[in-house]
Amino acid sequence: MPTLASNYIPEGVKIELQAENGMMGIGPYPRKGQADPDWINAGKETITYVEGASAFSSSDSFNMIRGGHLDLTMLGALQCSANGDLASWIIPGKLLKGMGGAMDLVGAPNTKVVVTMDHVAKNGSHKIIQECSLPLTGRRVIDRIITDMCVFDVDKEGGGGLTLVEIAPGISVDDVREATGAEFKTVAEPIPLMDEE
């Protein structure tokens, strides 16, 4: 889900999207028949690039990340806790392709961390829970969680937990409570609706 962000940047808005495998200036996904296998993101998916894009080594990419030169990172998750813990790299007993760069991304100084994911797992279990049961990628690192049902802000510093700040059209607060394995507060009613795009 996080890699879809490049498809939703409004015209006239200038944002530099970086791929941890070594590209700055990612554009939207290619249209059918326009994919170039030489241009891929860290998830091995074909991508496009915008004017002024540059390619560089993975080591240069991680120097940018570790040096605190990114303002925001978006990534997926297996679990998120109410206090901002992130589990995104392994389910014990399952095949592991590699841990990837998520630990560097969430540990980067001065970088806001946004998780985008389905609200519940394929088997219907909660992914947003009071405490993660899977091995952690980072402790108290998440600033915002965006799901197919809602948007939560996370008070990772002050221990204030989750606050429901937006909700998807057709979804009620009770629906979100049922699908969430952690307590949360809500902003003042009426809760703003998420964009339908």
The type of residue at 39 is W
Cβ proximity of 168 and 150 under 8 Å: yes
CB 136 within 8 A of CB 78: no
Q: Of the listed 11, 20, 166, 189, which one is catalytic?
A: 20
Q: Which residues contact 31 (CB under 8 A, 6 or more apart)?
A: none
Coil, helix or strand for 171?
A: coil
Show the DSSP H helices in 74-146 as ranges: 102-107
Residues linked to residue 120 through DSSP beta bridges, in sequence order: 126
Tokens coding 13: 């808005």
Residue whose structure tokens are 């570790």: 66
128-129, strands of its sheet edge to edge: 86-87, 79-81, 128-129
The reply to whether 20 belongs to the active site is yes
**Residues with a known catalytic role:** 20
